[in-house]
Amino acid sequence: MTRQGGRRPQFRIYSPGYQDGESQPLELESVSLCFRDPAALRAFGEFVMECADGMVVSDWDHEHHFGDGADPMNIIISVLHED
């Protein structure tokens, strides 16, 4: 995916699963992240910062952010392996 100006973004957003029997998840152009309150957003921000710290370690690959019992979501942050 190429953005305006011909530059590829520094990250990718993918669908949560595989589509139509494809072997790769569908790449999305946008996503909305909606948080219940500032505390929930801060908790997610702390998770993202912990992932950034993990990426400094050479064998780090990915982490999962799970919602609480009322919000059963799964957000995966991983190293982007370029084609």
Structural domain boundaries in the chain: 6-78
**Alpha helix stretches (DSSP H) within the chain:** 38-55
The pLDDT tens digits of the residues spanning 21-58 come to: 666 778 888 889 888 899 989 989 999 999 999 999 87
pLDDT of residue 80: 83
pLDDT in tens, 7-19: 666 888 887 665 5
Ramachandran region of residue 5, left (φ > 0), alpha (ψ -120 to 50) or beta?
left
Q: What is the pLDDT of residues 53-77, one digit of tens each?
A: 999 987 889 888 887 666 667 788 8
What is the pLDDT, as a whole number, of residue 69?
A: 65
Instruction: Output the CA torsion 53→27→76→57 (10° steps).
Output: -30
Q: How far is Cα 78 from Cα 52, in angstroms, rounded to an integer?
A: 10
